[in-house]
Amino acid sequence: MKLSIIIVNYNSKKSLLYCLSSINRFLYSNSELKKDFEVIIVNNENHPLQLPIRYPFVNAKIIEVGKNVGFGVAANLGTIMAQGKYFLFLNPDTIFLDQSLPQALNYLEKHPSVGALGLSVINKRRKAPENWSCGKKTTWGSILFRNTINKPWNKKVPQRVDWSSAAGLIVRKEAFKKIKGFDKKFFMYFEDQDLCLRLKKADFQIIHFPQSKILHLNGQSWHNEKEQKRQYRKSQLYFFKKHNTPVGYLTLKSIYKIISGFPF
């Protein structure tokens, strides 16, 4: 099997149904993919996921976790039963816009040194690529100087990057297994950047592929904005501890402690 599409669901059923419909429309009948792919849904909700019988993917493989274990842990669970040569990690609040996905897979076939390939994530409101959906490693410089000039997400041809968003990220199975998948210590946020940086350290390239696009519907899986911000800061701190200097990590930790009082 060529492709395993892995979707982590949490408070996103309505968006998920749109996503599955787009998979049916643009992939299921695609002459290049045909039926050479599977859909695996990892359900992080505390109740079973029920799909309407009118949807063609009612027989999709569904893994019931029973609680919210975070994106990375759930995605790793999805790869255990995945049969594809490539894993496509796909947000439930995204939809395919056309039949261009085989182009991305063909690029991977022709470039064995590429460990991960990011699809172009289109912002629904702006009808343009989302800012900060790929690029260089996050550092103090990128936080302080967040310019959007000449950035890879706006390019028209494939670009080598340090990381690309797991909203739509194809990872070579052998590369994913080599680095042992997502770091489970990231509950949410920065797990995709960490994965890509570890792939680079393992001598794989990371590519942003603008020819294949998905639309981001910006669904809301967080109901608690305060908790969302806390998880973001917690993940960012852990990321800095892993991939930046001790001074950078301790500075960020001190700032967050002052402005939020969170006992990191």
Print the domain residue range for 94: 3-221
List, for residues 32-55, the tens digit of each pLDDT value. 787 799 999 999 999 999 888 666
When comparing pLDDT for 204 and 143, which is higher? 204
Mean of per-residue pLDDT scores for the chain: 89
Q: What is the pLDDT of residues 123-182, one digit of tens each?
A: 998 889 999 899 999 887 777 666 666 789 999 999 999 999 999 999 999 999 999 999
Kindly state whether residues 191 and 243 are assigned to the same domain: no
Residues 212 and 254 in one domain: no
Same domain, 70 and 125: yes
| Together in a domain, 149 and 82 | yes
Q: What is the pLDDT of residue 16?
A: 94
Per the structure, how many domains does the chain have?
2
Assess whether 184 and 172 both reside in one domain: yes
Q: Are residues 256 and 171 in the same domain?
A: no
251 in the same domain as 132: no
Together in a domain, 185 and 145: yes
Q: How confident is the model at residue 28 (pLDDT cuts 50, 70, 90)?
A: confident
The fraction of the chain above a pLDDT of 90, given in percent, is 67
Confidence at residue 257, expressed as pLDDT on a 0 to 100 scale:
73
Shared-domain flag, residues 147 and 187 = yes
pLDDT at 203: 98
> 15 and 111: one domain?
yes
- List Cα–Cα distances, 231 to 18, 60, 133, 187, 188, in angstroms: 27, 30, 19, 7, 7
Question: What is the model's pLDDT at position 252?
Answer: 76
pLDDT for 70-79, tens place per residue?
Answer: 999 999 999 9
Q: Which of 17-26, 39-48, 212-221 has the lowest mean pLDDT?
A: 212-221
CATH number for position 47 = 3.90.550.10
Whether pLDDT at 262 is above 60: no
Residues 212 and 250 in one domain: no
263 has pLDDT over 60: no
Indicate the range of 23-27, 243-247, 256-260 predicted with least confidence: 256-260
Regarding whether 229 and 128 lie in a shared domain, the answer is: no
